[in-house]
Structure 1
């Protein structure tokens, strides 16, 4: 009886803590805005922003605009990242998976040791990882072949003071003057560079170390790259992607949604509704994928390459 009565109290305590954290976060954000606005009133800071408006100059050979292939890549990356984060969280937090998968030890993937039984969530996570890596290879090839890399790779040291200027302008809720169709601001450049060339490779190499595909009978290799190290990096990288996505989406919708969505999904530089239409369709696709990512629907697909069991 005592335990039964304590459960609502525990839930209320957790709810109270969550509400408290949200209110504290809002208070901190409000204070940061006030601080940024105060700083922008100072003459030295105004001079700094005038000298570094928030955007570095691109090389003369840099392409202008965002091609259609980049829009498709944006959708596919968003699709895979969303489901990878979801399945990764389920793998980490689910104590008793609803279904398991064991690979067929036949054909070209035959191994000496018997395949290991893994949860269906992990099977989906690894499958999505593989598709994400393949998509990433295509992305890197196209990025280098079309010169689009110049838009997200810093080519001048003034990217750092310009990024600081852009951050201050964002924090004061007075957005940097920019045209993403031509050139990203320096804070965007650094964040995109970090995401594409640092976070994504880290997610790959740490995830590979934690996967069943990693060779187990290699003591020297396992000692040089212990699984504990991979785990210590993999989770923070996942958190980074979550934070990046939240901030990215918030800024897309708060700094000219229609124009930004046209850049990202419509390959056009105007305020029409084409990009929004493609974006809305992509959200529907991702929502459907989120819904069907459960054993009832995944089982028949997973059984094509292995045995699904409870």
Structure 2
């Protein structure tokens, strides 16, 4: 006689598989890191490479009129982006597990009388994921508006082709564990600049467009609903999430290993100082994210979702 695995059993097996993947990923990452460091230090020993690093130290002088310093609104953006990214990863993992949702939400059509389409039923994790997406997009739009309104775009948008060799040089210096000399209060190094540019103007739009294609807001019929566009969106969306996680991990490591107090003050307290204020603000933001991760469970999500529709399960 065969037995059918229960939902809780399948969930436990899925999480065990994820832990194994994380463990193996960590082992592979350590090995790759060691190989990269050794290779970079050997390459740095070549005279021609040292001459290249001397010629391109890793920083491109900013254009005239570039603002100095990091404004307070950027500190809030740091927190909000990290907050939504953490919860998007949580819900994304739940959705990727392809398990039966612990509940379903259906839109209350009486609140939208002009809507002609029948209400669609969404799993509670997908409902939460879509709301997080919407809020994250609003944060992103406000960031881009403020970026151009305050001139801060000059700090992250390359305006000189010299950024390419300087970024290569900065990457080589980081890889050899000899950090490039920089003062991010005044100017980002070339690798930072290119990384921030890709995050804001490449990865974020890709995450938005691919997520929109996979969401319930996308037309269910017609040319736009072709399976090929859905396959393309799935092929893009998950790798982009992994890119965000990798960028965040490297970003945090570099902040904590290259003058943490000063960097955290710049990022979270909008001041160029070496005291503990920025660290305290950062620590509180981490506590908020941990609490949000813990409490974002089906019972609470269902109560919130019930305010805008019918919840079953």
- TM normalised by structure 2 equals 0.90
Q: Distance in 2 between matches of 1:52 and 1:275?
A: 32
Q: Distance in 2 between matches of 1:212 and 1:141?
A: 27
CA shift for structure 1 position 223: 3.8
Q: Distance in 2 between matches of 1:305 and 1:124?
A: 12
Q: Distance in 1 between matches of 2:304 and 2:271?
A: 38
Match of residue 57, structure 1, among 58, 61, 66: 61
CA spacing shift, 1:152–1:12, aligned 2, 3 Å? closer
Provide Cα deviations, 1:152-173, integer angstroms capped at 9, x if missing partner: 1111101110000000000110
2:170 corresponds to 1:170: no
Q: Distance in 2 between matches of 1:17 and 1:226?
A: 29
2:102 corresponds to 1:98: yes
Match of residue 296, structure 2, among 288, 293, 302: 293
Tell me the SS of whatever aligns to 2:109.
coil
Q: Distance in 2 between matches of 1:263 and 1:179?
A: 11
Correspondence list, 1:77-96, <5 A = 77-96=81-100
Aligned to 2:9: none
2:232 corresponds to 1:222: no
Match of residue 235, structure 2, among 232, 235, 240: 232
Q: Distance in 1 between matches of 2:16 and 2:100?
A: 26
CA contact (8 A) 1:160 1:186 kept: yes
Tell me the SS of whatever aligns to 1:106.
helix
CA contact (8 A) 1:202 1:237 kept: yes
Provide Cα deviations, 1:5-31, integer angstroms capped at 9, x if missing partner: xxxxxx999988876664443233222
Tell me the SS of whatever aligns to 1:216.
coil
Aligned to 2:309: 306
CA spacing shift, 1:225–1:150, aligned 2, 3 Å? farther
Q: Distance in 2 between matches of 1:55 and 1:157?
A: 12
Structure 1 residue runs of 4+, over 3 Å off? 11-25
2:125 corresponds to 1:121: yes
CA spacing shift, 1:263–1:38, aligned 2, 3 Å? same
Aligned to 1:203: 207
Tell me the SS of whatever aligns to 1:307.
strand
Q: Distance in 2 between matches of 1:266 and 1:282?
A: 12
- TM normalised by structure 1 equals 0.91
CA contact (8 A) 1:153 1:193 kept: yes
Tell me the SS of whatever aligns to 2:101.
coil
Match of residue 198, structure 2, among 194, 201, 220: 194
Tell me the SS of whatever aligns to 1:62.
coil
Correspondence list, 1:278-289, <5 A = 278-289=281-292
CA spacing shift, 1:243–1:20, aligned 2, 3 Å? closer
Q: Distance in 2 between matches of 1:298 and 1:89?
A: 16
Tell me the SS of whatever aligns to 2:248.
helix
Aligned to 1:264: 267
How many residues of Structure 1 are paired with residues of Structure 2 in the alignment?
299
Provide Cα deviations, 1:178-205, integer angstroms capped at 9, x if missing partner: 0011111111111110000000001111
Correspondence list, 1:147-158, <5 A = 147-158=151-162
CA contact (8 A) 2:218 2:225 kept: no
Q: Which runs of 5+ in 2 are unaligned?
A: 1-14
CA spacing shift, 1:207–1:21, aligned 2, 3 Å? closer
2:257 corresponds to 1:254: yes
CA contact (8 A) 1:292 1:298 kept: no
CA spacing shift, 1:224–1:59, aligned 2, 3 Å? farther
